[in-house]
């Protein structure tokens, strides 16, 4: 049946159709997205039954961030590494859960074009309370020579060099959202056929939004500019409808960003006097989300410039982030720039 007539278009069919738009495209990126989707389907099965099997709870170790590792964190990390090691398209990976990058050491991988960075299960502190969590991934074309193992420089590229980026949200439904520079598309897992199917074509972030998303409990630690912006959000004056904005904060970046992408508004995790670079990581949380948000017509800034233009110096470095609808993020930056400590 002609896919143009069929209602359900799978992720593979969609990426192959997209590839055909570029005569020189080889389909390798499509194949890599398929591999990432496979890993996330395997993770999804465990996340969905987490309450029934002995996979909840703490793993009893901490990761490079000093964060307590959950059993599901480890499962998700190992699943992504195993699937990508068997992918013909991936030369190596970097993960929130691993101290350093992993260069796959087989000849196939030496000749693979891409490297993948990921947060295997973001928001994992929410696992035991059944709040939405997710996998976030970034895909770069390697800069190191082919025919040899990938190197550290492959993983320290700025976000403006991203080939693609995306996330899978394990929520009321399981969705994969990915972006290239030309657009953002969302796919919902149809478990009866085990395929991610196109459900949100050409996603755009609303230019305006009435939701702000921040851990407001940290207000005492924020710079004056951030405090002034928070007061703006809570003040009914200066609003089109004479009402203050609504606060929504799940504490799971994928869930908070997915809502911001769909409904508009702003998500922000500022720096503060104690954490000069904020909490969220550049290479596998903020950059992928920034590519998605910019491709959807939104803004992603660190308070003094585009997230995607930051030149990484360390694999696990952090950055402040203000991301979402053009209007509200621009408004936040007018406060932050005015009162920045720097």
Residue 69 found at the interface with ligand P6P (CB under 6 A): no
Q: What is the DSSP string of 207-262?
A: SS-SEEE--GGGGGGS-HHHHHHHHHHH-STT-TTS-PPEE---S-HHHHHHHHHH
Residue 215 found at the interface with ligand P6P (CB under 6 A): yes
Break the chain down into helix, strand, coil percent, rounded to 5.
35, 25, 40
Burial label, 86 (beta-carbon count in 10 A; 0-12, 13-18, 19+): middle
Residue 279 found at the interface with ligand P6P (CB under 6 A): yes
Question: Could you say which residues in the range 96-125 bind ligand P6P, by CB under 6 A?
Answer: 122-123, 125
Residue 150 found at the interface with ligand P6P (CB under 6 A): no
Task: Say how far apart CA 11 and CA 14 lie, in whole Å.
Answer: 5
Smallest gap, in angstroms, from Cβ of residue 64 to ligand P6P? Answer: 13
How many residues at the interface with ligand P6P, by CB under 6 A? 9
Select from 2-10, 86-94, 202-210, 250-258 the region that touches ligand P6P (CB under 6 A). 250-258
Smallest gap, in angstroms, from Cβ of residue 25 to ligand P6P? Answer: 33
Output the six-digit token pair for 145.
Answer: 């020579």
Output the six-digit token pair for 339.
Answer: 């009162």
Smallest gap, in angstroms, from Cβ of residue 207 to ligand P6P? Answer: 23
Smallest gap, in angstroms, from Cβ of residue 181 to ligand P6P? Answer: 25
Select from 16-24, 42-50, 249-257, 290-298 the region that touches ligand P6P (CB under 6 A). 249-257
CB 27 within 8 A of CB 34: no
Residue 251 found at the interface with ligand P6P (CB under 6 A): yes
Strands 266-269 and 321-324: antiparallel
Nearest alpha carbon to residue 119 among 302, 301, 275, 316 = 316
Nearest alpha carbon to residue 272 among 324, 336, 326 = 336
Residue 317 found at the interface with ligand P6P (CB under 6 A): no
Q: What is the DSSP string of 24-38?
A: T--SHHHHHHHHHHH
Smallest gap, in angstroms, from Cβ of residue 114 to ligand P6P? Answer: 25
Question: Could you say which residues in the range 27-56 bind ligand P6P, by CB under 6 A?
Answer: none
Residue 135 found at the interface with ligand P6P (CB under 6 A): no
Residue 252 found at the interface with ligand P6P (CB under 6 A): yes
Residue 283 found at the interface with ligand P6P (CB under 6 A): no
Smallest gap, in angstroms, from Cβ of residue 122 to ligand P6P? Answer: 5
Residue 253 found at the interface with ligand P6P (CB under 6 A): yes
Select from 18-26, 36-44, 248-256, 302-310 the region that touches ligand P6P (CB under 6 A). 248-256
Phi-psi region at 183: left, alpha or beta (left = phi > 0; alpha = psi -120 to 50): left
> Between residues 10 and 95, which has the closer beta carbon with respect to ligand P6P?
95
Binding site for ligand P6P (CB under 6 A): 122-123, 125, 215, 251-253, 256, 279
């Amino acid at each position: 049946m002609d896919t143009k007539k069929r209602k359900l278009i799978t992720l593979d069919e969609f990426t192959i159709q997209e590839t055909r738009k570029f005569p020189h495209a080889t389909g390798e990126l499509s194949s890599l997205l398929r591999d990432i989707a496979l890993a996330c389907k395997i993770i999804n099965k465990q996340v969905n039954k987490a309450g029934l099997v002995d996979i909840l709870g703490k793993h009893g170790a901490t990761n490079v961030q000093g964060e307590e590792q959950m059993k599901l964190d480890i499962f998700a990390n190992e699943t992504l590494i195993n699937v990508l090691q068997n992918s013909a398209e991936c030369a190596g990976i970097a993960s929130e859960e691993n101290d350093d990058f992993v260069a796959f050491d087989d000849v196939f991988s030496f000749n693979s074009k891409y490297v993948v960075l990921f947060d295997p299960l973001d928001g994992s502190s929410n696992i035991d309370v059944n709040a939405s969590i997710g996998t976030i991934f970034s895909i770069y074309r390697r800069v190191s020579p082919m025919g040899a193992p990938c190197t550290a420089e492959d993983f320290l590229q700025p976000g403006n060099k991203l080939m693609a980026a995306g996330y899978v949200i394990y929520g009321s439904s399981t969705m994969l959202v990915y972006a290239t520079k030309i657009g953002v598309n969302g796919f919902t897992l149809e478990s009866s056929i085990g395929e991610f199917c196109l459900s949100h074509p050409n996603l755009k972030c609303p230019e305006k939004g009435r939701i702000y998303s921040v851990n407001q409990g940290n207000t005492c630690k924020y710079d004056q500019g951030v405090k002034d912006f928070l007061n703006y959000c809570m003040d009914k004056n200066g609003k089109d409808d004479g009402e203050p904005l609504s606060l929504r904060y799940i504490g799971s970046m994928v869930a908070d960003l997915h809502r911001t992408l769909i409904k508009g508004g702003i998500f922000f995790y500022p720096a503060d006097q104690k954490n000069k670079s904020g909490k969220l990581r550049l290479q596998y949380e903020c950059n992928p989300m920034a590519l998605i948000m910019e491709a959807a017509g939104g803004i992603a800034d660190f308070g003094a410039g585009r997230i995607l233009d930051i030149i990484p110096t360390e694999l696990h470095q952090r950055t402040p982030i203000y991301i979402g609808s053009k209007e509200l993020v621009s408004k936040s930056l007018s406060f932050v720039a005015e009162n920045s400590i720097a």
